[in-house]
Amino acid sequence: MKNLITLFFLTLVLNSFSQNIAGKVFNKNKTPLAGVNIYFDGTTFSTISDENGNFTLNYDPKTKNILVISFMGYQTEYISDFYSNKELNIYLSLSVKDLKEVVIKRKDIFTRKQKLQLFRQEFLGKTPNGKASIIKNEEDIYFKYDKKNFVLKAFSDKPLIIISPSLGYEINYELENFEVTFGKLSIYSNDIILSYYKGFSRFEEINNSNEISMHRKKAYEGSQVHFFKNLTNNIWGTEQFLISNNGHLVDANNCFKIHKEEDSIKVEVIQNSEKDENEKFVASYDLLYNQKEESNVIFETNTFYVYKYGNNSNIENIIFSGRISEEKVGDMLPLNYVYIP
């Protein structure tokens, strides 16, 4: 009964802040397109256009998510600025060519099997959730290895369809960039010095059992999103996150200044007093979650904004290592996941 009341309350809260966005999708000849995927990046908020190209999608304007418009054979469009009271007219252009036609096929010293194994590790992750996740269309992934710079790149001209059985989601992931840099000519994880991927994701719930709910709760706790939400709400403690510098616990109020604004929270990062003038970053701290999960965070920006779901404006300038960095796509939850302690 308690859970039903909680869910009813959450539904009322979400509905009270949500709005509808409407629009129509065309090709460049102004012909309406049916079956186009329209979704907010990193969420379960999605829809498809009808036979006349029309769509309506519910959203929360305070989330600051990118609206993605995706259709096979066409270039994906991304919209970050829009108004709920103004209908969107979206025109999609045909894709020039498939990526598989661009990637040069040549004999390589590393096999496709080796590259796929490395891709799974660095994209899905090596955690239990990551290892359990499956990419249904691995045949759509293409690789290029830059032997001069020791960089492996991965491409796909179709969204990757990922099944996360532990967390109960199917994820459509549009891979924008994937690069792994090695310290030498290698395909082994021990030689990696930098791993990076970027893309847009759409979540669909496929299982919501009690066991799955517990897995989701565990995946959220100690995650990157959890950290940013706690930071902006000034929640710290032995069962939460502790922050330290050079082995000494520090007061977060001496590290960050928090300014609550109308639709976001502005975070000012206070420069480490002992930081070398030649170092590019603003501050670096060690994190400890629940007295057992160790991470490090480096801020290369002195200001960033955190939005309602814990997403923020400068994630490319905030670098995690340690436990948090081990959680990749296989541990991802939709941004609109509701965490109940």
**Among 155, 181, 205, which residue terminates a domain?**
205
Domain annotation covers residue 287: yes
Range of the domain at 307: 219-331
Based on the fold, state whether residues 199 and 244 are members of the same structural domain: no
Based on the fold, state whether residues 256 and 156 are members of the same structural domain: no
In the chain, the percentage of residues whose pLDDT exceeds 70 is: 89
| Count of other CB atoms within 10 angstroms of residue 108 | 14
Quote the mean pLDDT of the chain: 90
Based on the fold, state whether residues 265 and 193 are members of the same structural domain: no
Based on the fold, state whether residues 187 and 248 are members of the same structural domain: no
Based on the fold, state whether residues 85 and 123 are members of the same structural domain: no
Domain annotation covers residue 36: yes
Nearest-angstrom CA–CA distance, 174 and 162: 11
In the three-class reduction of DSSP (H, G, I as helix; E, B as strand; rest coil), residue 29 is classed as coil
Overall average pLDDT of the 191-219 stretch: 96
Domain annotation covers residue 210: no
Based on the fold, state whether residues 246 and 322 are members of the same structural domain: yes
Q: What would the pLDDT profile of 274-330 be if each residue is shown by its tens digit?
A: 655 666 789 999 999 999 999 999 999 999 999 989 999 998 899 999 999 999 999
Q: How many separate helices (H) and strands (E) can be counted in the chain?
A: 7, 21
| Count of other CB atoms within 10 angstroms of residue 297 | 20
Backbone angles phi, psi at 94, to 5 degrees: -65, 145
Domain annotation covers residue 140: yes
Domain annotation covers residue 138: yes
Q: What is the pLDDT of residue 4?
A: 44
Domain annotation covers residue 337: no
**Among 71, 92, 113, which residue terminates a domain?**
92
In the chain, the percentage of residues whose pLDDT exceeds 90 is: 77
Domain annotation covers residue 211: no
Model's pTM, two decimal places? Answer: 0.88
Based on the fold, state whether residues 195 and 225 are members of the same structural domain: no
Q: What would the pLDDT profile of 22-38 be if each residue is shown by its tens digit?
A: 999 999 999 999 999 99
Domain annotation covers residue 213: no
Nearest-angstrom CA–CA distance, 318 and 87: 35
Based on the fold, state whether residues 199 and 240 are members of the same structural domain: no
Q: What is the pLDDT of residue 199?
A: 96
Overall average pLDDT of the 134-154 stretch: 96
Q: Which two tokens stand for residue 76?
A: 């994906």
Based on the fold, state whether residues 251 and 303 are members of the same structural domain: yes
Backbone angles phi, psi at 57, to 5 degrees: -140, 130
Q: List the alpha helices (DSSP H) in 18-165.
A: 99-102, 112-119, 128-132
Based on the fold, state whether residues 269 and 297 are members of the same structural domain: yes
Based on the fold, state whether residues 174 and 240 are members of the same structural domain: no
**Among 175, 205, 235, which residue terminates a domain?**
205
Instruction: Please give the tally of structural domains in the chain.
Output: 3
Based on the fold, state whether residues 161 and 192 are members of the same structural domain: yes
* CATH number (domain holding residue 81): 2.60.40.1120
